Structure 1
Amino acid sequence: MAELIRRRQRFVGRRAELGAFRDNLGLAPDDEAHRFLFHVHGIAGVGKTSLVREWEKTARECGALTAYVDEAVTSVPEALAALSAEFARQGHPFKRLDRLLETYRQRRHEAESASFADPGEAGEAGSPGARPSAAGTALATAGTIGLGMIPVVGPFAGVLDTARLAEGADRLRATLSARFRNPDDVRLVLTPDEVLTPVLVEELTEALRQLPWITLFFDTYERTAPFLGGWLHALMTTEQYGKLPLPVVVTLAGRQPFDTTLWDGFADFMTDVRLDPFTEDETRGLLAARSVTEETVVAEVLRLSGGLPVLVSTLAQNRPADPDDVGDPSATAVERFLKWERDPLRRRVALECALPRGLDEDVFLAVVEEARAGAGEDAAALYDWLRALPFVTERATAHTTGLRYHDVVRAPMLRLRRTRSPRGWTARHAALARHFAAWREEEETEAGLRADDRWRSVRWRALRLEETYHSLCANPATALAAALRDVAEACRESAGAARR
């Protein structure tokens, strides 16, 4: 009970939204008032993720099995793997789905290797060990594009040779059919959604024999909708993948309003939740929960935050009570976030740590190495202080758990850092690029990765991506060519790798 009380004290406001979600889980699935889909939308910093996470806790209190997915996934198979991992952590492993996902990854790799090793277009027809010609490689690439194994969007989509795509797709189908004697393996590679999703539906149905509800949460949906939107629509509104059991509730959260074009006719089965900035009463309630009650301070927070919960929480972090603090004339966005942090070292660390897109303790130490010069504060204590800031959240990745700044806070910090010292900006990003390059090389050595194995390594790809990001920030003119080569290599690996 004490923990529940403390949690409710930490999460302030949105009582109507919390009540609506909880009440929905109190209705039978066949009740006309029950809703199968919730769609949360609003501007950055308005509290979408916080509400979704609170809904997830509410669902678990009601006995539900839950899963949370965000933009870390880049394809339907990756989303299915993320869902399965979340279920397993709660004691409900989806073993058949996991086995099929592993088979998919193996067959996918074999298919991609086969598509680029087809000797039909080799330099000298039939020459052992000959490398494929440029024409053969182009045709193999066209085949993987034509079958949807490489994503093509934006301005590139209009310049593709459709005849070439069709020819390459036909050739790739023939190659896969020859390589995989089992037609099920061919289907798994070419249409993984159609093979994997029915297994998910079957395992959801089996799990619900022991559970009252299963709730699925898809956050940052504006980034995942291009590949999850149609799949989710088919999953929920048709029987293309089998009958989705009724006690499944899906939540989408993103910046865009509900897509009425895609979900036409579904309005009676969903709840649209638009989140607006806090009202004055809600802002005051959050400040009171943080023991900020001095009226001059409250008035300043109201003025600076615009009611955005992430900013209200940040400004209330140190419980300011001195009217002199409120009188600070600074109007810069960064000053809003660090307004009541007086320690110059901590302020500098907060700015420096905005440079990487995410950071674990290793990245943190690399970032603050210069910022801590001559300072006596322990690095572990600084890291703990940083992770406690209200605009910093923990996020699990494929190989580590790290920290991430909220976009609303990070963007102005980056602008300030770049405009204040362009040379310092270049130097710090170049240094981070070198750190990531060193870690990438260590991974190559320790994991024994050969040149053709590297893009299949999740950790290697993640390190290479961050190395490229910082190289582009430091010197885009010289780093662009290498970045484009990496895009081409990533396309050969998978759609997910290319999207990243």
Structure 2
Amino acid sequence: MQELIRRRRRAGFVGRREELRMFRENFELPPDDDRHRFLFHVHGPAGVGKTSLVRELAQLARDRGALVAHIDEGAASIPEAVAELSAQFAQQGRGVKRLERALATYRQRSHEAVAAAVREPDPDAPSTGSAVAARAGVVGLGMVPVVGALAGVVDADRLARGADRLRSRFRTQEDARLVLEPERVLTPVLLDELAEAADTAPWLALFFDTYERTAPFLDRWLHDMMTTDRYGELPANVVLVTAGQRPLDPTRWEGAADFAADLPLRPFTDAEARVLLAAKGVTDEPVVTEVLRLSGRLPVLVSTLAESGPADPGDVGDPSATAVERFLKGEQDPARRAAALACALPRRLDEEVVRAATGEGGEGGESPAELYAWLRAMPFVGTDRGGAARYHSVVRAPMLRLRRSSAPERWSAGHTGLAELYGRRRGALEEEDRRGPGHPWTRPAWRAVRVEELYHRLCARPRAALPAVLRDGVDACRVDTAVAREWARAVADAADDTDAGHLRSWSDDCRAALADEVSGPLRVLELLLARGGLDDAGRAAAHNAHGLRLFLLGRLREALGDHERAIALAPADPWGHHDLAVTYRALGEYESALRHLAEAADLAPDAAWVARQRGETYRRMGRPEEALPWLDRAHGLDPEDPLTLGSLGQSKFVLGRPQEALADLDRAIALWPDYVWALTRRARVRHQLGDGPGALADLDRAQSLAPDMPGIRGERGDVLRAAGRHEEAVAEYESALDLDPAYAWAGGSRALSLEALGRLDEAVASLEEALRVDPGYAWAREQRERILGDSEREIP
């Protein structure tokens, strides 16, 4: 079916013969020919046919045997773009296993970095190298961007990066670079995979559509990948195509004429437009002349005006008709015409949106399902990569202007009704996931409906809605850059569609700030705090969010100042004290942390999170007997919180109550089956209780969720060693050390299995390597001396 659809689209493609010729002939020139071009940049205004041309160029590349990948605005960062390239090559039968492993490691290391940023080393773990990152502190409350982690998969391309404090928590320098500068680690792997693919395919063609949206983070990367040695060598038989509304940045791409072709798209020529009209059965010269005049030969408008099959110039429209009337002139049903105008208001369409936009239909009107089906067949309605229907912007823009200028009350009422629809959808998601971990802004499904709700509220009442929308911006910036961009895009679209100057000022400045992948959210929060527009509660939330961004960047002392300002603005809000407590705890200042948690308890005496944080703080201080009463209280207030049960189980295990610990960990995992930290802790409890198979089953599950976490493999080694399965144990320890060469505890434990196998020289070498990594590892030194002493006594 897909192939048949592609053929029909190609058969209906009109014009752009010169652009197609240039691209086709480029494949006939070897890369070392000075006439060969490595980059084609397609650009032009909305509606000029960029996406249609890109689709045609991609098919032309396939016809030449090229491996083809296509990236658009669905990728919000460089790692997401790399992941999309990986997935598309895999779909074409070109596996990129090393790149897939690198991406999996990136996600896992990013998760560990987030967890490490909000907790100290676990004092009851065998070593920091084997500790499994806990979901605790602000992570458990959804205050950092780890909803993916809470589901078992972290997309930490969305992690604020670049800090000395975070660097100190990574096991290796490579791990630090992978999380803090993912493009520096992932891109060389991508280039290696492209090089292998280039040996098996004559050409590789990479397409980057909607470049006006993705250029802020892709443009420098593509330029550096093509023109510098920063990431390695890009195969010579790679051809890149970028397509956006604007020309390439002349500063960055100065001198690119030697290797790049500029393809500016303009409206159809008279001949091209006539070919398209003839293909749609419009051949009468007066009708053709009128369509050409009214459309300006813009491809999407030529197609739209021709679609209704006008029989005479009057069917096309008179010179005084509005653009909207021209688009719909061929549709005589007034209900459909009204529906088309009403359904221009939403940014995307589905049957329920059509119902909200049009109402349940008047007398003789079609049902929302029938109207939706009719709209989907209109030439100005397309489908985005997510499958949602949407109007082409060239057609939607004048429809919006007409509705806003001619019927302002209907404009406001229509957007209000759509905002209420998305508000109901949001409420349903909140009810469905009301006990789910993580802040709502970290959940893609919730976020998708929330940004639509905000967009429609801004369109309905631009000034009245702005303060609440800015408050949502605080929460979006608290998560990460990509989420903040989704929020900022809703503001920008509302600014375009309402032509409100105050919205335009906000959207321009926020989107400029968010071009900075690392500190973008921080800069937007500073704009929100500097300009006003937030009440005291909102400013307090902004200071707390700003403090969290500083926290994740390792600037903990600066973060303290933000949280103190938040408390001064909103003394009755316990979250400022919570954030101060978590920051003090990360600094090792436990008494200060406990003092602020006591303040939070005064403000929120029945909040389970306060009691849990107090218990967790005592547990990390190595005082589990003092942790238990607080954790018990937290559990009583919220019996279904898996984080509290996990902490309870670990505290009881340390206090020598393994059966009770097992029961708590069982309940935590039943509530949250992907709770990796609890799975590894339960494995340890089961191991001590003599249930080796149960322990291995837990570790198998944990490893499937976190395949590159060395601590899990180290724990497996211990269980296997206790069962006398020393060869397997050695293999697990060595796997752990492959993942983390600085994992001294695994080296020490490996020595015991090597000794049991009679491989004494290797055992001593393993202990010496562990001591080299950690000179203070007293146990390893004792074992080394013992083995050497035993060996000397055995010499005749």
- The residue that corresponds to 2:51 in the other structure is 49
> Would the alpha carbon gap of residues 274 and 74 (structure 1) be closer, same or farther in structure 2, given more than 3 Å must change?
same
Give 3-state SS (helix, strand or coil) of 1:452's partner: coil
Give 3-state SS (helix, strand or coil) of 1:465's partner: helix
Q: Is residue 360 of structure 2 the alignment partner of residue 360 of structure 1? A: no
Query: What is the CA–CA distance in structure 1 between the aligned matches of 2:337 and 2:48, rounded to whole Å?
Result: 24
Are the aligned partners of 1:118 and 1:175 in contact in 2 as well (CA < 8 Å)?
no
> Would the alpha carbon gap of residues 323 and 424 (structure 1) be closer, same or farther in structure 2, given more than 3 Å must change?
closer
What is the RMSD computed on CA atoms of the aligned residues? 2.9
Identify which range, 376-385 or 281-290, moves more after superposition. 376-385
Are the aligned partners of 1:29 and 1:247 in contact in 2 as well (CA < 8 Å)?
yes
Correspondence 1:78-227 to 2 at 5 A: 78-112=80-114, 115=117, 172-178=163-169, 180-227=170-217
Query: What is the CA–CA distance in structure 1 between the aligned matches of 2:51 and 2:222, rounded to whole Å?
Result: 20
Shift of 1:240: 1.3
Shift of 1:299: 0.9
Q: C-alpha offsets along residues 434-475 of structure 1, whole Å, 9 cap, x if unaligned?
A: 221222233334455646342322222212111111111122
Q: C-alpha offsets along residues 87-132 of structure 1, whole Å, 9 cap, x if unaligned?
A: 334343534434433443444455456556789xxxxxxxxx9999
> Would the alpha carbon gap of residues 118 and 315 (structure 1) be closer, same or farther in structure 2, given more than 3 Å must change?
farther
Correspondence 1:464-483 to 2 at 5 A: 464-483=450-469
- The residue that corresponds to 2:384 in the other structure is 395
Q: C-alpha offsets along residues 263-308 of structure 1, whole Å, 9 cap, x if unaligned?
A: 2333111111111111212211111111100111101111101111
> Would the alpha carbon gap of residues 130 and 446 (structure 1) be closer, same or farther in structure 2, given more than 3 Å must change?
closer
Q: Which residue, out of 460, 465, 482, partners 2:446?
A: 460
Query: What is the CA–CA distance in structure 1 between the aligned matches of 2:466 and 2:282, rounded to whole Å?
Result: 48
Query: What is the CA–CA distance in structure 2 between the aligned matches of 1:497 and 1:327, rounded to whole Å?
Result: 44
Q: C-alpha offsets along residues 143-172 of structure 1, whole Å, 9 cap, x if unaligned?
A: xxxx99669xxxxxxxxxxxxxxxxx6xx4
Are the aligned partners of 1:386 and 1:392 in contact in 2 as well (CA < 8 Å)?
yes
Q: C-alpha offsets along residues 18-56 of structure 1, whole Å, 9 cap, x if unaligned?
A: 121122123322333221100112222211111111111
- The residue that corresponds to 1:344 in the other structure is 334
Q: Is residue 303 of structure 2 the alignment partner of residue 317 of structure 1? A: no
Query: What is the CA–CA distance in structure 2 between the aligned matches of 1:7 and 1:419, rounded to whole Å?
Result: 37
- The residue that corresponds to 2:618 in the other structure is none
TM-score by length of 1: 0.83
Are the aligned partners of 1:366 and 1:435 in contact in 2 as well (CA < 8 Å)?
yes
Give 3-state SS (helix, strand or coil) of 1:316's partner: helix
Query: What is the CA–CA distance in structure 2 between the aligned matches of 1:5 and 1:465, rounded to whole Å?
Result: 36
Identify which range, 454-463 or 86-95, moves more after superposition. 86-95
Shift of 1:368: 3.4
TM-score by length of 2: 0.53
Give 3-state SS (helix, strand or coil) of 2:41's partner: strand
Q: Is residue 250 of structure 2 the alignment partner of residue 264 of structure 1? A: no
* Paired amino acid for 2:223: H
- The residue that corresponds to 1:374 in the other structure is 363
> Would the alpha carbon gap of residues 42 and 175 (structure 1) be closer, same or farther in structure 2, given more than 3 Å must change?
closer
For the pair shown, the structure with the greater C-alpha radius of gyration is 2
> Would the alpha carbon gap of residues 421 and 2 (structure 1) be closer, same or farther in structure 2, given more than 3 Å must change?
closer
Q: Which residue, out of 65, 68, 71, partners 1:66?
A: 68
Are the aligned partners of 2:317 and 2:326 in contact in 1 as well (CA < 8 Å)?
no
Are the aligned partners of 1:38 and 1:250 in contact in 2 as well (CA < 8 Å)?
yes
Query: What is the CA–CA distance in structure 2 between the aligned matches of 1:340 and 1:74, rounded to whole Å?
Result: 40
- The residue that corresponds to 1:441 in the other structure is 427
Shift of 1:345: 1.8
- The residue that corresponds to 2:278 in the other structure is 288
- The residue that corresponds to 2:412 in the other structure is 426
> Would the alpha carbon gap of residues 366 and 95 (structure 1) be closer, same or farther in structure 2, given more than 3 Å must change?
farther
Give 3-state SS (helix, strand or coil) of 1:236's partner: helix
Are the aligned partners of 2:48 and 2:265 in contact in 1 as well (CA < 8 Å)?
yes
Are the aligned partners of 2:158 and 2:482 in contact in 1 as well (CA < 8 Å)?
no
Give 3-state SS (helix, strand or coil) of 1:208's partner: helix
Q: C-alpha offsets along residues 308-346 of structure 1, whole Å, 9 cap, x if unaligned?
A: 111111111122113431464542111121121112122
Give 3-state SS (helix, strand or coil) of 1:341's partner: coil
- The residue that corresponds to 2:288 in the other structure is 298
Query: What is the CA–CA distance in structure 1 between the aligned matches of 2:63 and 2:435, rounded to whole Å?
Result: 45
* Paired amino acid for 2:168: S
* Paired amino acid for 1:252: T
Are the aligned partners of 1:214 and 1:248 in contact in 2 as well (CA < 8 Å)?
yes
- The residue that corresponds to 2:236 in the other structure is 246
Are the aligned partners of 2:207 and 2:242 in contact in 1 as well (CA < 8 Å)?
yes
Query: What is the CA–CA distance in structure 2 between the aligned matches of 1:392 and 1:27, rounded to whole Å?
Result: 38
Query: What is the CA–CA distance in structure 2 between the aligned matches of 1:185 and 1:197, rounded to whole Å?
Result: 15
Unaligned runs of 5+ in 1: 120-128, 138-146, 152-168
- The residue that corresponds to 2:78 in the other structure is 76
Are the aligned partners of 2:48 and 2:298 in contact in 1 as well (CA < 8 Å)?
yes
* Paired amino acid for 2:214: T
Task: Count residues with an aligned counterpart.
Answer: 454
> Would the alpha carbon gap of residues 458 and 275 (structure 1) be closer, same or farther in structure 2, given more than 3 Å must change?
same
Q: Which residue, out of 383, 394, 402, partners 1:408?
A: 394
Are the aligned partners of 1:215 and 1:248 in contact in 2 as well (CA < 8 Å)?
yes
Are the aligned partners of 2:290 and 2:313 in contact in 1 as well (CA < 8 Å)?
no
Shift of 1:3: 7.4
Query: What is the CA–CA distance in structure 1 between the aligned matches of 2:197 and 2:433, rounded to whole Å?
Result: 37
> Would the alpha carbon gap of residues 468 and 106 (structure 1) be closer, same or farther in structure 2, given more than 3 Å must change?
farther
Q: Which has the higher helix share?
A: 2
Shift of 1:80: 1.9
Query: What is the CA–CA distance in structure 2 between the aligned matches of 1:105 and 1:482, rounded to whole Å?
Result: 33
Q: C-alpha offsets along residues 190-230 of structure 1, whole Å, 9 cap, x if unaligned?
A: 11111221222122222233322221111222222221111
> Would the alpha carbon gap of residues 367 and 319 (structure 1) be closer, same or farther in structure 2, given more than 3 Å must change?
same
* Paired amino acid for 2:164: R
> Would the alpha carbon gap of residues 2 and 383 (structure 1) be closer, same or farther in structure 2, given more than 3 Å must change?
closer
> Would the alpha carbon gap of residues 383 and 182 (structure 1) be closer, same or farther in structure 2, given more than 3 Å must change?
same
Query: What is the CA–CA distance in structure 2 between the aligned matches of 1:300 and 1:477, rounded to whole Å?
Result: 41
Are the aligned partners of 2:425 and 2:449 in contact in 1 as well (CA < 8 Å)?
yes
Are the aligned partners of 2:295 and 2:301 in contact in 1 as well (CA < 8 Å)?
yes
Q: C-alpha offsets along residues 52-105 of structure 1, whole Å, 9 cap, x if unaligned?
A: 111112112222222222223332122223323333343435344344334434
> Would the alpha carbon gap of residues 476 and 269 (structure 1) be closer, same or farther in structure 2, given more than 3 Å must change?
same
Are the aligned partners of 1:75 and 1:495 in contact in 2 as well (CA < 8 Å)?
no
Give 3-state SS (helix, strand or coil) of 1:40's partner: strand
> Would the alpha carbon gap of residues 20 and 464 (structure 1) be closer, same or farther in structure 2, given more than 3 Å must change?
same
Give 3-state SS (helix, strand or coil) of 2:199's partner: coil
> Would the alpha carbon gap of residues 118 and 4 (structure 1) be closer, same or farther in structure 2, given more than 3 Å must change?
closer
Are the aligned partners of 1:433 and 1:470 in contact in 2 as well (CA < 8 Å)?
yes
* Paired amino acid for 1:36: F
> Would the alpha carbon gap of residues 277 and 236 (structure 1) be closer, same or farther in structure 2, given more than 3 Å must change?
same
Are the aligned partners of 1:177 and 1:183 in contact in 2 as well (CA < 8 Å)?
no
* Paired amino acid for 1:432: L
> Would the alpha carbon gap of residues 109 and 235 (structure 1) be closer, same or farther in structure 2, given more than 3 Å must change?
same
Q: Is residue 24 of structure 2 the alignment partner of residue 38 of structure 1? A: no
> Would the alpha carbon gap of residues 413 and 118 (structure 1) be closer, same or farther in structure 2, given more than 3 Å must change?
farther
Query: What is the CA–CA distance in structure 2 between the aligned matches of 1:449 and 1:203, rounded to whole Å?
Result: 42
* Paired amino acid for 2:14: V
